[in-house]
Chains A and B, each alone.
Chain A
Amino acid sequence: MTAKWFIDASYFAVAVVFILGLKAMSSPVTARRGIVWAGLAMIAATLVTFATPGMQNFGLMIVAIASGGALAWWSGKVVKMTDMPQMVAIYNGMGGGAAAAIAALEFARGEVHGTVVTTLAVLGALIGSVAFSGSCVAFAKLQGIMKSAWRLPAQNAVNILLALAVVGLGGVIVAAGEVKGELIVAFFVLALVLGVILTSPIGGADMPVVISLLNAFTGLAVGFEGYVLGNPALIVAGIVVGASGTLLTQLMAKAMNRPISNVLFTPISGAAAGGGEAIEGSMREFSALDAASVMRYASKVIIVPGYGMAVAGAQHKVWEMAQLLEEGGVEVVFAIHPVAGRMPGHMNVLLAEAGVPYDKIFDLEEINAEFPQADVALVIGANDVVNPVARTDKSSPIYGMPILNVDMAHNVIVVKRGKGAGYSGIENALFYKDNCRMLYGSAQQAIAEVITHVKALES
């Protein structure tokens, strides 16, 4: 048995474990196991790679692994759960950057020969660079470093011209056969700029779709560079992620009723949100005591949490209130819109962190039929995802987006900081309905007050 045979066999086993791990990660019962398997496979792959024949520069390699790994490990450990999406974005960007750097080094060594290999190297470099700079922009936006979405005049024309320029340059590199340094540098610079230009105009609400798309991009880039290096483990892992990431992106875009092309090229803007009919009626206020008594004497309460709740850090309080109500014989469940939080499933993670068992959490299709039977729908920090104009008003920018039908519950209580419109700036018709009451205040403090009153009712 040669070292090469051993390494190839190990890579094969690693690819199998990655796929099994991803499969396990798609069920809540086995998910934890899945990531641990994949983690062990990654360690094995890294160790085995040191035995690759003809390698040098081990000192530098170990320093790079230790510093990069330790930095990311530490940042991943300390980040708050609400900030998870931007961490996924930045780690993903690093993967894309690594794929692009692999291509760059292969070009620098002059090791890229043949049309197919050069084409895939160029494609991987392009996609990886876009994923890298795009993810950095996504990170900066979600982290609040980069505040607003800026658009160039004729943004779409600039996008297309720049994309054509990069692809054209890539074509020249493929056709040239032998590679010139300046050309390669220009190619990478343009590809990085393209990533920035593509993601800059996209608003916060659409970011989850973009992060997911960039994740799929990085997968593809890794797969292509895997071909360049003749490493099937990279090909399999990369392409599997590319395909599953694309599917995940489609699921998210569908849940938001925003085709991926719309997300990239026509972001929801203030101007677009201006459309729609004027809403008549007024908002009615509710006190914490009213809210407490309505819920305490209900038989079924459905809680609809949104990102506002998570930002206020109120999920622990909300779960405390839910448990209190349950002790009093009220049935309490949580309803989650696919895009609640910043990514699909993000809200589930935040509730899980507060200790809410996952069998009390239902998604849109499971729960929507139950709202007419619910005595109370409690909306905390959610807005656009419960706006009934998505069902009724064709001129609204969110028309057609699947929403939680909270307006069909007997009573709706909305916990909200103030009277303003939602994330997208669209007026919410729900707030003006006859069965809807507003409980103003930060989620944390409003729910704490409700808890006090519920306790008072018990005694």
Chain B
Amino acid sequence: MEGFTALYIFMLAAFTGYEVISRVPVILHTPLMSGSNFVHGVVLVGAMVVLGHADPDSPLQLAIGFVAVFLGAANAAGGYVVTERMLAMFKPGANKAGKAKEGAQ
């Protein structure tokens, strides 16, 4: 990849990341951190590619590649389960603002 093309991708991705979560309510900070933790689990793809190109006759390369894929898969799977469990619990109330201002003294 061309150096400057990559630099543009880096820059635009950084702005996107900043923009996407800039208006997130506090209640979602933990799930969102967990969700972004899941998204970088895509490192699994990179790990698979390097293990796929490792020399089958080199135990060292195979071992490092195995560790990379193992850790990447754990990042993705664990990140997904934990995030999904947290988000599944967010439910709106039945009576929205029904008696919100009743008791003002």
**Chain A residues at the B interface, C-beta cutoff of 8 Å:** 11, 14, 18-19, 21-23, 25-29, 31-32, 34-36, 38-39, 42, 45-46, 49-50, 52, 54-58, 60-61, 63-73, 75-77, 79, 81, 84-85, 87-88, 90-92, 94-95, 97-99, 101-102, 104-106, 108-109, 111, 116, 211-212, 215, 218-219, 222-223, 225-227, 229-248, 251-252, 299-300, 329-331, 336, 338, 341, 343-346, 348-349, 352-353, 355, 357-361, 363-364, 373, 375
Contact (Cβ within 8 A) A109 B55:
yes
Q: Which chain A residue lies CB-closest to B50? A: A105
Q: Which residue of A lies closest to B86 (CB)?
A: A349
CB distance from A379 to the nearest CB of B (A): 19
Chain B interface (Cβ within 8 Å of chain A)?
A: 1, 3, 6, 9-10, 13-18, 20-56, 58, 60-62, 64-94, 96-97, 99-100, 102-105
Q: How far is the CA of A329 from the CA of B99 in the complex (A)?
A: 9
Is B20 within 8 A of A23, CB to CB?
A: yes
Determine if A60 and B62 form an interchain contact, defined as CB atoms under 8 angstroms apart. Answer: yes
Provide the bound-state CA to CA distance between A60 and B27, in Å.
Answer: 41
Contact A247 B51 (CB under 8 A): no
A-B contact pairs, 11 of them (CB 8 A): A26-B28, A46-B45, A77-B85, A91-B38, A98-B75, A223-B13, A233-B42, A241-B36, A252-B29, A344-B29, A357-B93
Q: Is the CB of A68 within 8 A of B74?
A: yes
CA distance A299 to B104 in the complex (A): 8
**Cβ of A26 and Cβ of B26 under 8 Å apart?**
no
Q: Which of A55, A76, A98, A101 contacts B78 (CB 8 A)?
A: A76
Smallest Cβ-Cβ distance to B13: which chain A residue: A239
A299 touches B87 (CB 8 A): no
**How far apart sit A47 and B84, CA to CA, in the bound complex (Å)?**
21
Contacts of B29 in A (CB 8 A): 248, 251-252, 338, 343-345
